[in-house]
Chain A
Amino acid sequence: MSTAELRERARRAAAHVVDPEIPVLNLVDLGVLRDIRIAGDTVEIDITPTYSGCPAMRVIELELELALRAAGIEKFRISTVLSPAWTTDWLTAEGRRKLADFGIAPPAGAASRRALFAADQIACPRCGSAETERLAEFGSTACKALYRCRSCGEPFDYFKCH
């Protein structure tokens, strides 16, 4: 197998690994997969955590290992890199569409550094209404906040800008 073929095979394997907490997004959609290099006969993969304390990272690493083995790749090294820090700007367009289809509002706009007194205006992923309100800054996972649509009345998750 050529280097390019091996790399492509590893990429396809990684694209099968999904976020255990948002199972419609794979590692490529999320931007968690940072790099794949081939060093000799070894596949070197860099992944980056979304949040420092994201409990899904260990599971993702394990799943990635299983996916690589299932693809017949035995020699690999998975490294966690912190820099540059993951940002929701890395979510792919495909990833954003999948999120919305799944009922999670994708991050609105680019990540900003503003801290105090900032609030995002979010459209409802179900009916599209902009009449929404934030119920809680932190939702079911660190990366999400909980919102409610005032038009259709449905609560929904919002994938926060980060």
Chain B
Amino acid sequence: MSQFVINMLFVGASFALYFGIAVWARAGSTKEFYVAGGGVHPVTNGMATAADWMSAASFISMAGLIAAGGYANSTFLMGWTGGYVLLAMLLAPYLRKFGKFTVPDFIGDRFYSNGARLAAVVCLIIICVTYVIGQMAGAGVAFSRFLEVSNSTGIWIAAGVVFCYAVFGGMKGITYTQVAQYVVLIIAYTIPAVFISLQLTGNPIPMFGMFSEHTESGVPLLQKLNEVVAGLGFTDYTADVTNKLNMVLFTMSLMIGTAGLPHVIIRFFTVPKVADARWSAGWTLIFIALLYLTAPAVASMARLNLMTTIYPQGVEAPALAYEERPEWVKNWEKTGLITWEDKNSDGRVQLYNDAAPAFTPTAETRGWKGNELTVNNDILVLANPEIANLPGWVIGLIAAGAIAAALSTAAGLLLAISSAVSHDLIKTLINPKISEKNEMRAARISMAIAILLATWLGLNPPGFAAQVVALAFGIAAATLFPALMMGIFSKRVNDKGAIAGMLVGLVFTVVYIFLYLGWFFIPGTATFANTPDNWMFGISPLSIGTVGAVINFAVAYAVSLATVAPPKEIQELVESVRTPKGAGGALSH
């Protein structure tokens, strides 16, 4: 059976499973999962939230970036988990007590202003569209490989599938489908990692294997990896970074962005009690951690395997001959995500750091005329089982997992966008008398526009999937998180302060990002080249969200103190969200 057929079987079977569960759950009791999600245990909710949360960025892209950047890219690991601590303590329980169901609802009510509601809707749409661009970039990689087509064809196919999936609607709201997606996703991620950890270190648990001895060489795996990459002019894998300010700001931006993401926050509105919102955040993080503790092991092991494939006799010996390249290189060449250019015409594949001046003399002695192999970071997780020569079914499994990750999140985001447009914007602000049919139509149209826009921008994404998603987090950090937090922790911040804070935070962050990554992410329109020399105080566009958040807080407080305090009933509302007592039943979604 060819690999293509195996992939189709796995992806097809996983889809059949999701649909099957959807049908079964519907037949069981319609009321149960539409009303309240009241029966949803915090553990189940945690698992479903984890599936909602872990997207193509976590599954497909993150380990590739860690593999390429080593220690420096630990930011993704800490940032995307540390945010749950903030969510559990600063937002989730109080928003659950408040008991409405969208983020603009809370901001509009707490700041007693439709202007604030509108500002929140605008921020939400910008965050979600940016996030979907990242999903499309990641899903495109997955589809292009498994259908053996070019990357751009893959992205359009992914767009079609995501659109159908999101329009089927109900799918997303069903907790048990998401539980199934989580199970598929986590199995697909960990099984290859266990095999590879066994091959390299003899330890079946990747998170321990990573810090164990490399069986073949007898030295610790990470030390071996450092030696290999250093031998090719790259920075040591575990090397410390010099720009700590940027690393801190980037991690912070991902953390507070996590806590400000609309599609994650609403998951905590549906748990039965306020106390459950706290537990649920903990369970969610446990399920996320299963992948996040494995990812760094996948990253280091994949990097080592890649290097040993290219330099089978060690980095001192001649590189792999192009004619002898393994099957997986040929497969990925079809997608255009691996390219080889024989710069010194020796028919061999030299992969090294040609930007390191210290390594140039060595390269010249060896007759190398530049790095010849370009490997897109986003393919690493997907190619990993092939690089390690794992059986065909493991490769099929990872295809199903990658697609589950991208689909569940993209659909969740599209629904967040469409409910913001149809519920918060049209129904609440523009035309309260809109018929249900027209409201649904508005929801579908906004979904279609969002996906077309995201797909078009995803063809030439402003970075790797995880980086694009990180931009969305930066915008969430600078806009929604401060507004939500001040809404709970301060009785003094008023409507004008919140609106001014959100808008200044949004404009500052978005303009800074556009300056380096292109206006509206349109390729070729960047004002400055995106290099560290050009960054203000060495702060990258990925990290700027933290600065935006600080500005948001400062502006909101300053404007609030200069204007009248919120009315008494709003101060009472704040009092009431702070105590669990008297929370109503959970709302349905």
* Chains A and B form a bound pair: no
Q: Please report B residues at the A interface, Cβ cutoff 8 Å.
A: none
Query: Hey, which bits of chain A sit against chain B, CB under 8 A?
Result: none
